[in-house]
Amino acid sequence: MIPRYLKEEITHLLPSKKVIVLLGARQVGKTTLLKNLFPNALWLNGDDADTRQKLTNANENLLKNELGTFKTLVIDEAQRIENIGITAKIIADQLPTITLILSSSSSFELANKINEPLTGRKWELNMFPISYQEMVGYHSANTENRLLKQRLLYGYYPEVVMGEGNQQALLKEISSAYLYKDILTWENIHKPDKLERLIQAIAMQVGQLVSYHELAQMAGLNAATVERYINLLEKAFVIYRLGSFNRNLRNELNKSRKIYFYDNGLRNAIINQFQQVELRNDIGGLWENFLLAERTKFLAANKIYCNRYFWRTKDGAEIDYIEEYNGEIHAYEFKWNPTAKAKFSASFMNEYKPVETNIIHSQNYMHWLANA
């Protein structure tokens, strides 16, 4: 089993006796991690109708009878259970010797049910596909670096990482069977063709400014529906938005956004493009998506908290990525080719005086993603 950094974090939190809420997209390894951590737990699944009925209006006595001699209860896909927040509160307050773990593929749906009942009673953790940093720990930086082009194409979903030679089929299965499952349930969508066109349009524009109006035209939806679907896809850990940095300069873009995927392989499966890196005309977007996804995981694993942006002006000056810590600016440009040149905007440099400027390319990215 590839060691996941959350294993140590969950173990560290257990003595607090608070409910542990594990959030993450389907197929990122939540079940595998929890079964490894809690092999003797009682395991219930919210996708099961009997479990939903049993736990919807549970009381202390019913829960005691259900648990029997078990000391740990794991409820997978907890968002599917009505009143799960109340049930979890009963366990936390009335059964303090029980360790309760809730897992969910929907931060949106679960949050609506547990935030108020479990105020002060829970830890929330996000789980992503396997990270570059975790793979370096699993074998070595040298081995992982040799696989870089493969990761750009197929990403880091656990089953894909372990499924040598079958990555495309596995990714198509993940994208078709699991990608839309939750959002289709929430929105009661019976014909998901427009949703599919929307996410394909987003995938084609990775690394570019996106317009909800243009996406709406491409998908056959209105702009309000596009924004709602994007929000739900974000809550389901499929995509995330990066906003524009703007403070002082008159011609800065101030309401623009870019959209990225948490996994390169999933993005490529959506548009069915698995050509080798050398043959692709979207290598810039692929590299940018890879770096930002892995940087997201790195920051989360190392508990580094910062504001994150891109920067662009109306006349086209831009910086790919900015991190802001305690008012200090770190600016980065992304180039796949290590010999490519990049110039940081003079107006940006003069106005914001970043403490760091760096070009992240295919020969120096290792330390930035794993301190390797």
Q: How confident is the model at residue 255 (pLDDT cuts 50, 70, 90)?
A: confident
Domain ranges of the chain: 5-126, 132-370
**DSSP states of 312-340 as a string?**
EBTTS-EEEEEEEETTEEEEEEE-SSTT-
Q: How confident is the model at residue 326 (pLDDT cuts 50, 70, 90)?
A: very high
How far apart are alpha carbons 121 and 303 in whole angstroms?
Answer: 21
| Helix (H) / strand (E) containing 242 | strand 239-244
Q: What is the pLDDT of residue 186?
A: 65
How far apart are alpha carbons 237 and 178 in whole angstroms?
Answer: 12
Q: How confident is the model at residue 253 (pLDDT cuts 50, 70, 90)?
A: low
- Asked if residue 372 has pLDDT above 60, the reply is no
pTM (2 decimals)?
0.93
Q: What is the pLDDT of residue 157?
A: 96
- Asked if residue 193 has pLDDT above 90, the reply is no
| Beta carbons within 8 Å of 245's beta carbon, 6+ residues apart | 252, 309, 310, 311, 319, 322, 324
Q: What is the pLDDT of residue 167?
A: 94
**What are 53-97's pLDDT values in tens digits?**
989 888 999 999 999 999 999 999 998 899 999 999 999 999 999
Q: What is the pLDDT of residue 228?
A: 87
| Helix (H) / strand (E) containing 352 | helix 346-352
User: Max alpha carbon distance in the chain (Å)?
Assistant: 68
Domain 5-126 CATH superfamily: P-loop containing nucleotide triphosphate hydrolases (3.40.50.300)
Q: Give percent of the chain with pLDDT exceeding 70.
A: 94
**What are 129-156's pLDDT values in tens digits?**
999 999 999 999 999 999 999 999 999 9
**What are 228-252's pLDDT values in tens digits?**
889 888 988 899 999 999 886 666 6
**What are 298-321's pLDDT values in tens digits?**
999 999 999 999 999 888 889 999
> Of 53, 70, 119, 61, which is closest to residue 94 (Cα–Cα)?
61
The stretch 334-346 carries a mean pLDDT of 93
**What are 13-27's pLDDT values in tens digits?**
999 999 999 999 889
- Asked if residue 109 has pLDDT above 80, the reply is no
